[in-house]
Homo-oligomer: A and B are copies of this chain.
Amino acid sequence: MNSTSDHRAGEPIAVTFSVNDRSYSPPARPIVVICVDGCGDEYLSTSLAHGRMPHLAAVIANGYRGMVRAALPSFTNVNNASITTGMPPVGTGFGGNFFIEPETGEEVMMNSSKYLRCGTILAAAAKVGRKVAMVTAKNKLLEILSHDLEGIAFSSEFANQAQKSTHGIENVEALVGLPTPSIYTGDASLFVLTAGSKLIEHNLADFLYLSLTDYMQHKFAPHTTESLDFYEGIDTQIGNMLKLGAVIGITADHGMNAKDKPDGSPNVIYLESLLDEEFGKGNDVICPITDPYVVHHASLGSEVMVYLKDPSQTAEIADWIFQLDGITEVMDRPTAVKKMELPGDRIGDLIVMSARDVVIGRNPEYHDLSLIKGGLRSHGGRYEEMVPMVITKPLTDEYMAKAAKDPRNFDIFEFVCNGTHNR
């Protein structure tokens, strides 16, 4: 058997499959969806302007670059769950990283696949014979989204712990040619992309989801040298995957904005403290950005939920919160379910969002501001909702028309699988 026939034997198969009421017909070539965590569109514009993303520049001249609307609240788990399922949060069950379990009254971190309420596109693709790989930077995402996936799934965070039996792969460091990175680095993301490239090159995967981490975006604005270097690294790996014949879709889970006062200190509304003062103790503020990676943001984001002591005060407290400077939107639970497509049993009595430069916290004791002494950049609200979508091949007329309406970031697998010319 020569290498040509070997390659043919390993070529991706073109099959159609359906999941969550959508049909996907990926072409017979490597398919890659990249979620660049925290990639506000300015990161692409600035890195392109400085000539640091030549491969991206070449593909968007012929393919597509536009804006899509993420799921709200604009957090990582919420949007990764939506992107990998094609469903809004009401379908995935992920309306934040944290909620209060109605039965127990306990705060729960949703860090397991048991909280996911629908199947993933990745699992469905594997079932029809695509060689699926999911590589994430943060291990938490892997635990949520790799359920039922017959394929490869590992995180760069714990790359050196991947086992064939549990992760579908082993000796990841040797494959990638890099050591397991610290999660608090840009390398945690570049490892993911390099791994994707190596998996395609070695014919181990032809249907990939690569989800990065926003450590760099939390710490560095688009014009900084650190950010430009990081995006150049991303571009190099995009180039490698393009050389291997991949069609790539790139989007983000959320954008990122500076949330500082003019003096550089974080611009925080400590909502639970204010509610304690005004209405007495017992109204609980939950910060759904909270996750194990607190160095990023000290659990300070631009959306929180309030669980009220006395539901009869809902309208009164909602109105009172809305009058606070820096608060931009307040919705009660039924309204949030309707307007934000959130799962009603996993959210608080009130959903509260803040301005472009404002975050909402619980109380001063709850947040360790020393973690963000270089300045706070964060997300979660309406001002981090719009994110880029890049498709490296030209879209068909049908999908150009869809892209020109109000596409979502969780449509990206459909765009990449069904929407391109030159398949």
Q: Hey, which bits of chain A sit against chain B, CB under 8 A?
A: 41-42, 44-46, 48-51, 57, 60-61, 64-67, 69, 221-223, 257-258, 260, 262, 322-323, 325, 328-329, 335, 338-339, 355-357, 382-383, 386, 400, 404-406
A69 to B222, CA, bound (A): 17
A392 to chain B, nearest CB (A): 12
Interface pair A338/B356, CB less than 8 Å apart: no
Interface pair B221/A404, CB less than 8 Å apart: yes
Question: A357-B405, A405-B262, A406-B258 are contacts. A61–B51 as well, Cβ < 8 Å?
Answer: yes
Interface pair B49/A67, CB less than 8 Å apart: no
A401 to chain B, nearest CB (A): 9
| Minimum CB distance partner of A50 in chain B | B61
Interface pair B69/A49, CB less than 8 Å apart: no
A325 to B340, CA, bound (A): 11
A-B contact pairs, 16 of them (CB 8 A): A41-B41, A41-B45, A41-B67, A44-B45, A45-B65, A46-B65, A48-B49, A50-B61, A66-B222, A66-B223, A258-B405, A262-B405, A325-B338, A355-B406, A383-B386, A386-B386
Copy number of this protein in the oligomer?
2
Interface pair A57/B67, CB less than 8 Å apart: no
A75 to chain B, nearest CB (A): 19
A379 to chain B, nearest CB (A): 14
Question: A51-B61, A60-B49, A339-B328 are contacts. A400–B355 as well, Cβ < 8 Å?
Answer: no
Interface pair A338/B323, CB less than 8 Å apart: yes
A322 to B251, CA, bound (A): 30
A221 to B397, CA, bound (A): 13
